[in-house]
């Protein structure tokens, strides 16, 4: 009998050891996969925060620019800056004389070189007639070559040996520079990878989340307070509660179809705007906020209610002056988690038209714009090699926002628990 008990204890100990081992292996596997995923994204996308520029001397001759006095903004914008930029590049290669070679050489410059030169002249009209030295961006192929993303040999290379030789000469002369690219975080989208920015998508997501919060937060709290504190236990109430719980598990594309059918087709709101996107995301986030708020209201100590009633407060005063403030930290935690989920949604925004190419940064929620997940989708399906790093960098940006929002929820929860204890 004693031997049987010892055998059973050894068997149970082995089973417990296997269970702990499986748990540790699962955690190690998940951690390894996460580290591999994050490291792959960071290694592919960190270079998008930098740009490759070339230092050139521009002769701002008024006759070649085609600018007449007075130097108004309209006259300066109509100048022939592309010609000045090409001449500055040709001056570095005096041996290039034929038209085909000059055309090939001019492809080294990005269209952004003309734009930056124009902006400089508009900001400094007194420099017309002088020679200035500026750094302007290179084309995407040369940018990728300098960053090491474009192979020098093989079928996937897009530059000839002569083009690479000319570029290497500029690198050896110290005319090529690697600079931080603030335009990626502040600029809008572009057909040219070296000019594409995520600022428009960030602004669009901000406006959409702002509209989502302003709609879902007060409505969610009002619905939760009524259902938890004032409603009677009837069939209709139970039906509403069941539907709210079911809506939290509905695929997000259904809310996009609802926005397309009702918000756009019935109410006629502008298509592809953060306003409509925020309304759709609010419908999707509302059940999560209601559930979180009701759970927080239930967690409030009954002593708070009883003490307030004993002091002569009415039931409404008890709820809004005592119970709801005590439940607010948990409600905010659920709201932040719901907004973080809404930030990464793509399907409902695609259904309402927030998938168009928008080059400008939206100024108001009524302006057409993209969002962070939609911008990632647009860049991911592009055939240009330069958009690969842009896609990875956009994923880094959205991951940073998601981590910060979830971290804020954790901080609110931990500080609330500390105060309660």
CA dist 273 and 364 (Å) reads: 9
- List the one residue out of 346, 344, 339 whose CA is nearest residue 374: 346
The answer to whether 204 and 370 have CB atoms below 8 angstroms apart is yes
Kindly state whether residue 150 falls inside one of the protein's structural domains. yes
CATH number at residue 302: 1.10.3720.10
- List the one residue out of 55, 56, 52 whose CA is nearest residue 180: 52
Helix, strand or coil, per DSSP, at residue 133: strand
Instruction: Using the Cα atoms of residue 58, residue 64, residue 66 and residue 72 in order, give the sign of their dihedral.
Output: positive
DSSP single-letter state for residue 322: I
Q: What is the reported pTM?
A: 0.87
In terms of Cβ atoms closer than 10 Å to its own Cβ (0-12, 13-18, 19+), residue 171 is: middle
Report residue 28: phi and psi, to 5°.
Answer: -65, -40
Can you give the pLDDT at residue 304?
84
**Residues 377 and 406 reside in one and the same domain:** yes
Can you give the pLDDT at residue 7?
79
Can you give the pLDDT at residue 2?
62
**Residues 280 and 416 reside in one and the same domain:** yes
**Residues 133 and 262 reside in one and the same domain:** no
CA dist 370 and 349 (Å) reads: 9
Helix, strand or coil, per DSSP, at residue 56: strand
Kindly state whether residue 32 falls inside one of the protein's structural domains. no
**Residues 169 and 268 reside in one and the same domain:** no
Instruction: Using the Cα atoms of residue 33, residue 34, residue 38 and residue 43 in order, give the sign of their dihedral.
Output: negative
**Residues 218 and 367 reside in one and the same domain:** yes
Split into its structural domains, the chain has a count of: 2
The answer to whether 236 and 223 have CB atoms below 8 angstroms apart is no
CB count within 10 Å of CB 286 equals 22
Helix, strand or coil, per DSSP, at residue 137: strand
> What is the 3-class SS of 239-293, one letter each residue?
HHHHHHHHHCCCCHHHHHHHHHHHHHCCCCCCCCCHHHHHHHHHHHHHHHHHHHH
Can you give the pLDDT at residue 282?
92
Kindly state whether residue 96 falls inside one of the protein's structural domains. yes
CA dist 56 and 108 (Å) reads: 12
Kindly state whether residue 36 falls inside one of the protein's structural domains. no
* Per-residue tens of pLDDT for the chain, all 421 residues: 667 777 788 888 888 999 999 999 999 999 999 999 999 999 988 999 999 999 999 888 888 888 877 777 888 888 888 888 898 899 898 888 888 888 888 889 998 888 899 988 888 888 888 889 999 999 998 999 899 888 887 777 788 888 899 999 999 999 999 999 998 998 888 889 999 999 999 999 999 999 999 999 999 999 999 998 888 888 888 898 888 888 888 888 888 888 888 888 888 888 889 999 999 999 999 999 999 999 888 888 888 888 888 888 888 888 888 888 888 888 888 888 888 888 888 888 888 888 778 888 888 888 888 889 889 988 988 878 889 999 999 999 999 998 888 888 888 777 765 554 5
Kindly state whether residue 9 falls inside one of the protein's structural domains. no
Can you give the pLDDT at residue 419?
54
Kindly state whether residue 3 falls inside one of the protein's structural domains. no
Can you give the pLDDT at residue 302?
84
**Residues 218 and 345 reside in one and the same domain:** yes
**Residues 346 and 287 reside in one and the same domain:** yes
Strands 176-180 and 131-137: unpaired
- Say how many CA atoms lie within 13 Å of 273 toward its Cβ: 15
**CA 270 to mean position of chain CA atoms:** 22
Last residue of a domain, one of 181, 210, 231: 181
Last residue of a domain, one of 116, 148, 181: 181
What residue numbers bound the domain in which 141 lies?
Answer: 47-181
- List the one residue out of 131, 109, 148 whose CA is nearest residue 64: 131
The answer to whether 358 and 189 have CB atoms below 8 angstroms apart is yes
**Residues 334 and 366 reside in one and the same domain:** yes
In order, the DSSP letters of 14-46 are HHHHHHHHHHHHHHHHHHHHHHHHHHHHHHHHG
DSSP single-letter state for residue 356: S
CA dist 348 and 254 (Å) reads: 7
**CA 412 to mean position of chain CA atoms:** 24
- List the one residue out of 179, 184, 211 whose CA is nearest residue 199: 184
Can you give the pLDDT at residue 417?
59
Kindly state whether residue 299 falls inside one of the protein's structural domains. yes
CB count within 10 Å of CB 246 equals 10
Can you give the pLDDT at residue 330?
85
Last residue of a domain, one of 125, 153, 181: 181
Kindly state whether residue 245 falls inside one of the protein's structural domains. yes
CA dist 366 and 355 (Å) reads: 15
**Residues 230 and 375 reside in one and the same domain:** yes
- Say how many CA atoms lie within 13 Å of 230 toward its Cβ: 14
Secondary structure element (H or E) that encloses residue 58, with its range: strand 50-59
**Residues 174 and 205 reside in one and the same domain:** no
């Amino acid at each position: 009998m004693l031997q049987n008990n010892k055998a059973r204890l050894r068997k149970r100990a082995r089973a417990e050891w296997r269970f702990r081992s499986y748990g540790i292996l699962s955690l190690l596997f998940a951690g390894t996969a996460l580290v591999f995923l994050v490291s792959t994204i960071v290694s592919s996308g960190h270079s998008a925060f930098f740009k490759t520029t070339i230092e050139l001397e521009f002769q701002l001759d008024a006759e070649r620019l085609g600018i007449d006095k007075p130097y108004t903004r309209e006259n300066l914008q109509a100048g022939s800056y592309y010609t000045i930029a090409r001449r500055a590049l040709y001056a570095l290669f005096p041996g290039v004389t034929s038209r085909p070679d000059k055309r090939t050489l001019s492809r080294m410059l990005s269209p952004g070189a003309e734009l930056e030169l124009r902006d400089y002249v508009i900001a400094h009209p007194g420099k017309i007639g002088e020679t200035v030295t500026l750094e302007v961006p290179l084309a995407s192929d040369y940018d990728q070559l300098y960053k090491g993303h474009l192979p020098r040999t093989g079928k996937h290379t897009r530059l000839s040996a002569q083009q690479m030789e000319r570029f290497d000469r500029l690198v050896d002369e110290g005319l090529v520079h690697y600079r931080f690219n603030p335009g990626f975080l502040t600029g809008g989208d572009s057909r040219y990878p070296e000019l594409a920015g995520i600022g428009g998508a960030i602004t669009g997501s901000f406006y959409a989340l702002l509209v989502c919060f302003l709609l879902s937060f007060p409505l969610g709290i009002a619905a939760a307070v009524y259902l938890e504190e004032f409603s009677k236990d009837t069939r209709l109430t139970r039906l509403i509660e069941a539907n709210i719980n079911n809506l939290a598990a509905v695929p997000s594309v259904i809310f996009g179809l609802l926005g397309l059918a009702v918000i756009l087709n019935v109410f006629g709101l502008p298509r592809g705007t953060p306003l409509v996107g925020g309304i759709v995301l609010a419908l999707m986030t509302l059940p999560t906020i209601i559930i979180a708020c009701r759970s927080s209201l239930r967690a409030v100590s009954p002593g708070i209610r009883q003490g307030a009633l004993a002091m002569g407060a009415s039931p409404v005063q008890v709820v809004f002056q005592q119970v709801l403030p005590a439940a607010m930290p948990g409600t905010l935690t659920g709201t932040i988690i719901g907004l973080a989920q809404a930030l990464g949604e793509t399907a409902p925004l695609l259904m309402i038209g927030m998938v168009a190419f928008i080059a400008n940064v939206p100024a108001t929620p009524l302006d057409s714009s993209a969002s962070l997940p939609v911008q990632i989708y647009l860049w991911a399906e592009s055939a240009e090699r330069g958009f690969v790093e842009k896609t990875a960098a956009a994923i880094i940006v959205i991951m940073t926002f998601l981590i910060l929002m979830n971290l804020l929820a954790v901080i609110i929860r931990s500080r609330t628990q500390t105060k309660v204890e």
